Amino acid sequence: MATDLETRNKAIVQRWIDEVFNEGQVSSVDELKVSSYLDWTPLPAPYQNVELPVSGIKDALPEWLDGLPDFQFTADQLLADGDFVVCLGHWQAHHRGAYKGHEPTDRRVGGTRIDIFRVAGDKMVEHWGCGNELAFLQLVGALDTGEATAASRDEDVARRFIESVLHKRDLSAVAELVDAHAVDHSGLAVSMLGLLTAFPDLDVTVTDVEVDGADVVVTSLVTGTHDGPFMGLAPTGRRVSGTRVDRFRLAKGKIVESWRESDDSTLLQQLAA
């Protein structure tokens, strides 16, 4: 059971998320962080700065919030241990305002983060974070690392399809990632309906992404509990896992063809064991 201190510390971090990022109340920074705040998050130069005083945070936030006006961060889990709070969460937004001198791209951006805060008294004093800032800065053109190759952009689209559509069940992402005239050679929709019926808690996690000629190949780990009929087998309640491989062909940043291979034999062996 969480102590009063840990409950209070989690509430401070939740206020930071809700008031500063999701509601854009920059004035709340003074209430939530000490004036000499240390940030140990590894960022590429010239953004890296361990000593990040509150004045610097307040100066930087308006540009971030103007560049991503619909920015929303969701804390999926807050864990507290003494003075420390761990936040596991995800964010999403559209790049609809100028950022670091670069014009809006209207691209949908987002990602997951792990953040650790140390709280002293009633304010945050230190922070460690891990997210996809590098990919975001490259996407909006705010980091000069050379122009991204078409292959790297295609890899990102293929990965996002698995993570957004299959893992998070975000069907709204289909229109963004898949061409309206795309050809599915594997009956993806039908096969996914069958899997979700048999394994309602189905989880699809990307383990590898590779470029193979004109295609992008995504390997994923599939896990779930057998709570529905599957290939003639009655529900067993067993937790099983297997591998699936999705091959995508892309054009102009969207999926135009797809193929799927799944290790159904391994799932059947586990269910029949």
Instruction: Identify which of 102, 89, 80 has the alpha carbon closest to the alpha carbon of residue 17.
Output: 89
Backbone angles phi, psi at 239, to 5 degrees: -90, 120
pTM for this prediction:
0.52
Report how far residue 54's alpha carbon sits from residue 34's, in angstroms, rounded to the nearest whole number: 7
Residue 171 in 3-state DSSP? coil
pLDDT tens digit sequence for 45-67: 444 444 555 666 787 788 888 98
Tokens describing residue 24: 């854009």
Q: Is the dihedral of CA 38, 42, 48, 54 positive or negative?
A: negative
Ordered domains of the chain (ranges, CATH): 4-139 (3.10.450.50), 150-272 (3.10.450.50)
Q: What is the C-alpha to C-alpha distance for residues 124 and 51, in angstroms, rounded to an integer?
A: 14
d(CA 178, CA 103) in angstroms, rounded, equals 25
DSSP 18: I
Q: What is the pLDDT of residues 126-170, one digit of tens each?
A: 988 887 666 666 666 665 554 445 667 888 999 999 998 888 888
